[in-house]
Amino acid sequence: IIKIQAQVEGIHISEEVLNHLGEIGSETTLRSLVQLLTPANLFAKINGKDSIEQEPMKEIRELFTMPNPWP
């Protein structure tokens, strides 16, 4: 779902980042994961990158995700 949403939005995301998002999926909601794509893409563009990378994604996750209310 995340990969499809990234394609729809024209966001380039590595398999490494997709795998990382899959791993953290149990800690948050799918909606939260999908909503991370926009700030992560903006962060990448500001830093001159063409795709979302692993390390900045961790920082963005800490800033923008909320814990899953239904664990």
Which CATH number goes with the domain that contains 29? 1.10.8.60
Write out the two tokens for 32. 């939260």
| 36: enclosing H helix or E strand | none
The whole-number pLDDT of residue 48 equals 94
Of 62, 28, 60, residue with least CA distance to 42: 60
Whether 70 is covered by a domain: the verdict is: no
The domain of 25 spans 2-64
Whether 14 is covered by a domain: the verdict is: yes
Whether 30 is covered by a domain: the verdict is: yes
**Spatial distance between the Cα atoms of 42 and 58, rounded to a whole number of angstroms:** 14
Give the count of alpha carbons within 13 A of 23, CB side only: 10
Whether 21 is covered by a domain: the verdict is: yes
| Domain count within the chain | 1
Whether 71 is covered by a domain: the verdict is: no
For residue range 11-65, list pLDDT tens digits in order: 999 899 898 888 887 778 888 888 889 999 999 999 999 999 888 888 888 887 7
